[in-house]
């Protein structure tokens, strides 16, 4: 299968993340799967006239396009022309290239939250008018219409994340090669369910502190970061703490709150990422399926029942009190 990768408005972080794929590395994995990279601006040797010729071959149909991957949001400014971002050497806006190439592809992948929903590039007042491929924030209708479907009948597959986990990209590609990717494998925001049906909260190493509402107040402390430090891992989708990154890491494992980077408009939380907004002392960022009254009752009981070990460790930067096995009666 032929794969073409375009980098639009973004930092290139999803490519950097993809190159961290392990056992096997991404190039060996794609080769073994029978995926041929027609062109990738960061890793392909072809540049200049060679790259332009290749793009023209794809546009004309001389080169078959099986998979189109777009990384980074699509800039539509000024005034819908897209001329804030010209694809180097072609004289044409990236906006035009995407709109022309997407209908030719059997599968279109939005790699990263910028390509999926607009992401960081669309933060604040969004002066560049950046949007996602098929979404503008959480609303259908980006540079491609809401009813857009590829030649395989699928919408854009949104591999959202900032950056994406390398396995999310490679697993999606392998499902496509196997002919196993269909609409039922996507959630309501067109993200692959194999990671979007999990919460960051699942397998988080701070879950014991969460259960007792033993909370950290500083980033260096070990306690749960939901109550005071802005963590929304109980609401955000992703298997980051199950699959982990680079052999064992994740945001919460590294002591930083989850900021829901797989979600539309995560870039505009309307408060500092490391602060938990509260109303009458109740965190706004509660699990989506937990009524506030239940949280108040649970939190009161949990705090009252918190073992000294958990309470002391929550406000420490390392384990101060180790768990002691229960002694059995002789």
Residue 205 sits in the same domain as residue 142? no
Residue 253 sits in the same domain as residue 114? no
Contact 42, 12 (CB under 8 A): yes
Is residue 324 in a domain?
no
Whole-prediction pTM: 0.90
Q: What would the pLDDT profile of 175-218 be if each residue is shown by its tens digit?
A: 999 999 999 999 999 999 999 999 999 999 999 998 888 999 99
Strand partners, 279: 282
Residue 9 sits in the same domain as residue 116? yes
**CATH number of the domain to which 224 belongs:** 4.10.480.10
Residue 290 sits in the same domain as residue 146? no
Q: What is the pLDDT of residue 62?
A: 96
Residue 280 has pLDDT above 80, yes or no: no
Residue 214: other Cβ atoms inside 10 A: 25
Contact 104, 125 (CB under 8 A): no
Task: With cut-offs at 50, 70 and 90, classify the pLDDT of residue 298.
Answer: low
Residue 220 sits in the same domain as residue 144? no
Q: What is the pLDDT of residue 296?
A: 63
Residue 31 sits in the same domain as residue 173? yes
Residue 253 sits in the same domain as residue 108? no
Residue 286 has pLDDT above 80, yes or no: no
Residue 151 sits in the same domain as residue 11? yes
Q: How many domains does the chain have?
A: 2
CA separation for the pair 89, 106 (Å, rounded): 26
Residue ending a domain, among 160, 194, 228, is 194
Question: Residue 242's domain spans which residues?
Answer: 198-318
Name the percent of the chain lying above pLDDT 90.
Answer: 76
DSSP assigned state of 261: T
Residue ending a domain, among 139, 168, 194, is 194
Residue ending a domain, among 166, 194, 222, is 194
Q: What is the pLDDT of residue 319?
A: 86
Residue 153 sits in the same domain as residue 267? no
Name the percent of the chain lying above pLDDT 70.
Answer: 93
Average pLDDT over the chain reads 91
Is residue 326 in a domain?
no
Task: With cut-offs at 50, 70 and 90, classify the pLDDT of residue 291.
Answer: low
Residue 218 sits in the same domain as residue 231? yes
SS3 210: helix
DSSP assigned state of 157: E
Q: What is the pLDDT of residue 246?
A: 83
């Amino acid at each position: 299968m032929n794969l073409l990768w375009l980098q639009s408005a973004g930092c290139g972080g999803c490519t950097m993340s993809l190159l961290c794929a392990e056992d096997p590395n991404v190039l060996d994995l794609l080769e073994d799967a029978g995926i041929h990279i027609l062109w990738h601006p960061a890793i392909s040797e072809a540049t200049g006239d060679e790259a332009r010729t290749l793009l023209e071959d794809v546009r004309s149909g001389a080169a078959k396009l099986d998979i189109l991957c777009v990384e980074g949001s699509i800039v539509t400014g000024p005034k819908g022309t897209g001329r804030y971002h010209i694809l180097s050497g072609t004289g044409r806006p990236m906006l035009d290239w995407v709109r022309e190439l997407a209908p030719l592809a059997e599968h279109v992948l939005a790699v990263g939250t910028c390509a999926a929903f607009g992401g960081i590039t669309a933060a604040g007042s969004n002066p560049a008018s950046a949007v996602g491929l098929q979404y503008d924030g959480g609303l259908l209708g980006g540079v491609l219409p809401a009813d857009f479907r590829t030649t395989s009948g699928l919408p854009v597959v949104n591999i959202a994340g900032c950056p994406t986990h390398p396995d999310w990209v490679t697993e999606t590609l392998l499902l496509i090669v196997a002919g196993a990717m269909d609409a039922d494998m996507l959630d309501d925001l067109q993200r692959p369910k194999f990671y979007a049906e999990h919460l960051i909260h699942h397998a988080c190493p701070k879950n014991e502190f969460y259960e007792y509402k033993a909370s950290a107040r500083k980033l260096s402390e070990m306690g749960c970061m939901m109550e005071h430090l802005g963590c929304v891992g109980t609401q955000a989708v992703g298997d980051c703490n199950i699959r982990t990154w680079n052999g064992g890491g994740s945001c919460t494992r590294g002591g930083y709150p989850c900021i829901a980077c797989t979600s539309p408009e995560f870039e505009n939380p309307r408060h500092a990422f490391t602060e938990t907004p509260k109303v009458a002392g109740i965190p706004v960022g509660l699990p989506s399926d937990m009524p506030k009254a239940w949280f108040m009752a649970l939190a009161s009981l949990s705090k009252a029942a918190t073992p000294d070990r958990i309470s002391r460790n929550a406000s420490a930067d390392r384990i101060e009190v180790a768990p002691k096995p229960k002694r059995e009666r002789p």
